[in-house]
Amino acid sequence: MPGRYSYTSPWSRGNDPWFRIGQIDVTTTVGLIGLGIISVFMWAIEGTNHEISRKLFLAPQKVLDGEIWRLLTWPLVNQASFWTIFLFFILYMLGNQLENLMGRRTFLYLLLALTVIPALVVTLASLSNSDSIGLYGLRFVELGVLIAFAAQFPFARFWPGIPAWGIVSVIVGLQFLDALQMRSGLHALALLSVALTALLGMRSLGYATELHWIPALPIGGKSRNQSHERPKRKKRFKKNHLRAVSEFRDRHTEREIDQILDQVADDGIESLSKEQRKRLEQHSKELRKRRGR
């Protein structure tokens, strides 16, 4: 049965994939989550020494000694836990929506900025700070995506009806309180740099236009190609959504009519209510119209 085990996501419709693996569209978000899942297995397989992971996470002194790759690889160290998987789920939902809005390439640039800029800031700050910090895990990138999402959609509702800006304020506030509790200035600096990168990045790329108090850096903003591609993506997203809704309604109608016909076969047509008879007649008219086309 072809397509029986195919994979589709309601959040990723409209996103242009970089490539496909079987039935999976590998978008920027899906690719990032895939690397995160691989890193979880790697963490578990390594054992207690974590020899590979220790060469990937951000250690400022190691970067200053020439291990520049740590500025990019530190998000790819993720412990195997329930909260890590929950983080991936949130990143998947919000990331797909931002990628659908911004396009795969622009969203990739934002993710790279959320990775490299905080790592550089922490590394340079460690030169004049006796405090030591090791950054690792997608949680900082996910926080940046959450802030970027709230900047673009501040009144989007999260369960149980809390707006995005409220959720972000609480999460960021708790993170800073945690840094204060640990007396870690570098940790607080990392959080601040993630938040500023997300906000400045969204404004500079031409989004989050309601946040007038945040300056927009002259980095090009929305390109002409993106402005032409975005209506196409929205149109394709709307078309796919309407098709999915239509298919769902057809399946629901078929099940409803089958139940009515089963009742007629068992108890006779007199057992039907007025609403059921009206529904059966309406369905018969729709079938005649389709056949007459």
The rounded radius of gyration (Å) of the Cα atoms in the chain is 25
In terms of pLDDT, which residue wins out, 273 or 142? 142
Beta strand residue intervals within the chain, DSSP E: 19-21, 24-26, 157-158, 162-163
- Helices 224-267 and 274-292 pack at an angle, to 10 degrees, of 120
Confidence of residue 240 (pLDDT cuts 50, 70, 90): low
3 state SS of 158: strand
Q: Provide the 10 A C-beta neighbour count for residue 100.
A: 23
Residue 236 has pLDDT above 70, yes or no: no
| pLDDT, tens only, 136-187 | 889 899 999 999 999 998 888 877 778 888 888 888 888 888 888 877 778 8
Q: Is the peptide bond before 160 cis (omega within 30 degrees of 0)?
A: yes
d(C-alpha 113, C-alpha 96), whole Å = 17
- Which position has the token pair 């959720």? 167
Q: Spell out the domain ranges in the chain.
A: 19-222, 236-292
Our CA angle for 30, 31, 34, nearest 5°, is 85
| pLDDT, tens only, 40-92 | 998 888 878 878 888 888 888 888 888 899 999 989 998 888 888 888 998 99
Structure confidence at residue 26 (pLDDT)? 87
What's the CATH architecture for 19-222? Answer: Up-down Bundle (1.20)
